[in-house]
Amino acid sequence: MLVVCRILIVVGLSSILLLEKVFGASVACLFLISVVTVDPRHYLRLTGPDYLFIATLSLYPLVVILRSLASDTFIVSELDNPSRFLLIIPVYLWMRVQGAQLPYVIVGAALACFLNAGVFGYEFLSGTTWTRIYGHENSVTFAQVAFLLTTLALIPAALVKEAVGNVRKMYCIGILALGLVSVLVSQTRTVVIISPLLLLAFVFFSDTYVFSRREKLLSAVVVSLVGYWVFMGGSFLRMSELLVETQELLINRSIPAYESSQVRIALWQVGWDIFQQNIWTGVGKGEFHSAAELIHRANPDVSNTVLGYRHAHNEFLNLGVELGISGMAAILVTMTMIPLLSCKGEFSSESRYLLVITVMSWWLFGTTDAVLENHKITLLIVFMLCIGFAEGLNTKFGRLDE
C-alpha cells in the first residue's frame, strides 16, 4: 500500500500543471487510504505540536461553518474549499506514521517542471496557441502552482549537505530555468514579483554550492535567455498589455476602466466598502457579487465592470467581505502560527523551507487574487503545509509508529 501511495504522490504532482483533476483525485485516494490504514492507537502518541498544527488548520473551516449556520440560507457548496483544510488532516496523520515521503514529492515536482516546459516548448515551436491555464481556474493559480513546484524540486539541490557535484549543479540550474518558464507562461502580473524571487533563489543556492564566477555567469546567461525567449515570444501579447497598463499608470496616473489593473482597483474599492459595512459578520461565502450589485445600485459612479467578478481579487479583503474580521483573523493566524511553530520547534532546514516558502507564496499571490477561492491551489497549499510539518516532527520526535 505504501508503494501505491508513493505512486499517487508522484503522478498527482507531476501532472498538476497539465491535467485538470489528477492531483485532486490522487489526494482523495491518499485520504481514503489514510482513513483505512492508520491504526487509531497511533493517535494516542500525537505530540503538543501535532495538536497545535491540527487546531490551526481547523480555524478557517470552523469560522466558515459557524458563519454558514448563522445565515438564513445554508448552502453546502460553501464548504467545498474550506473542507480541504479538514480532509487533509487524515493525510497528515498518515505522514506522521509512514513518513512525509519527501523524496517522492520532490520527484513529482521535478517531473512537473520538465513536462510543463516540454509541452510549452513543443507548442511554441509548432505554432500552437498556448492556453496558459490548462485546467486551472485562472492564470494566477497556474503561476503559484508552478512556483511552488519549482521550490519543491530545488530541495535536493539546495538543502542536502553533501559533496558538490557537477550533476547537482546542472540540476539546480535546469530546475530554475524550467521553473522560470512555467511561471512566465502564466502571463500574469504576479510574475513581476515571483520571477526575481526565483533568480534570488539561484544566488542563495549558488553560495551553497560555491559556484565559480564563470559558472555563475554561464548560469545567469542561460536563465536570462530562457526568460527573454518566453517574454518576447510572439504569442505572449499579454505581457506587452501589462507593460502598457503600467506605463499608463505611471505617466497618465490612470488606466482605462476596461483594463485588468483598473478592474482590480475598482474591486478593492468596492470590497473595502462592503467590508466596512459588514465588518463583524461579513456578507457570507460566495456573496461578493450580490453585495457588489447593492453598492453599484447605491452609487452609480462605481464601475459596472466589478459585477462580472465573484470575489475581491485580494485574499484578506475577500475573507473580510465574506466572513468579517474573524475570517481574516483565522487565516492570519494560520499563516503566522505554522512557520513560527517550525522555527520554535527547531525543525530541519527542509521543513522550515517548505513551510516558509508555501506561506510566502500564499501572501504574495494573495495580493492580486483570492487564493482560497481556487480549488487546486488550496489543496496544494494545505498538502505542502502537511508535508513540511510532518517531516519536521518526524525528524525531531520520530514517526508515530516508532
Walk along the chain (402 residues) and give the pLDDT tens digit of each residue.
889 999 999 999 998 888 878 999 999 999 999 999 888 888 888 888 999 999 999 999 999 888 877 776 666 667 778 889 999 999 999 999 998 888 899 999 999 988 887 877 777 666 655 555 555 557 778 888 888 888 888 777 655 555 456 777 777 778 877 877 777 777 676 666 666 666 655 555 555 555 667 776 776 777 667 666 665 554 455 556 666 665 665 555 554 544 566 777 778 888 888 888 888 888 888 788 888 888 877 777 666 777 777 888 888 999 999 888 998 999 999 999 988 888 776 788 788 888 888 888 888 888 888 888 888 889 999 999 999 999 999 988 888 887
Q: Is residue 318 assigned to a domain? A: yes
Q: Judge if 345 and 315 occupy the same domain.
A: no
Q: Is residue 310 assigned to a domain? A: yes
Contact 148, 361 (CB under 8 A): yes
Contact 321, 278 (CB under 8 A): yes
Q: Judge if 304 and 334 occupy the same domain.
A: no
Q: Judge if 265 and 333 occupy the same domain.
A: no
Q: Is residue 243 assigned to a domain? A: no
Domain containing 208 equals 2-237+326-397
Contact 154, 205 (CB under 8 A): yes
Q: Judge if 319 and 388 occupy the same domain.
A: no
Query: Which of 323, 346, 375 lies at the terminal end of a domain, its last residue?
Result: 323
Q: Judge if 191 and 68 occupy the same domain.
A: yes
Q: Judge if 24 and 103 occupy the same domain.
A: yes
Q: Judge if 267 and 372 occupy the same domain.
A: no
Q: For residues 386 and 398, give the distance between their C-alpha atoms in angstroms, rounded to a whole number.
A: 16
In the chain, the number of structural domains is 2
Give residue 204's pLDDT: 54
Give residue 234's pLDDT: 43
Q: Judge if 66 and 167 occupy the same domain.
A: yes
Query: Which of 323, 351, 373 lies at the terminal end of a domain, its last residue?
Result: 323
Residue 189's identity, in one-letter code, is R
Q: Judge if 26 and 94 occupy the same domain.
A: yes
Report the alpha-carbon angle 270-272-278, nearest 5: 105
Q: Judge if 107 and 217 occupy the same domain.
A: yes
Give residue 129's pLDDT: 53
Q: Judge if 207 and 80 occupy the same domain.
A: yes
Q: Is residue 278 assigned to a domain? A: yes
Q: Judge if 159 and 49 occupy the same domain.
A: yes
Q: Is residue 244 assigned to a domain? A: no
Q: Is residue 245 assigned to a domain? A: no
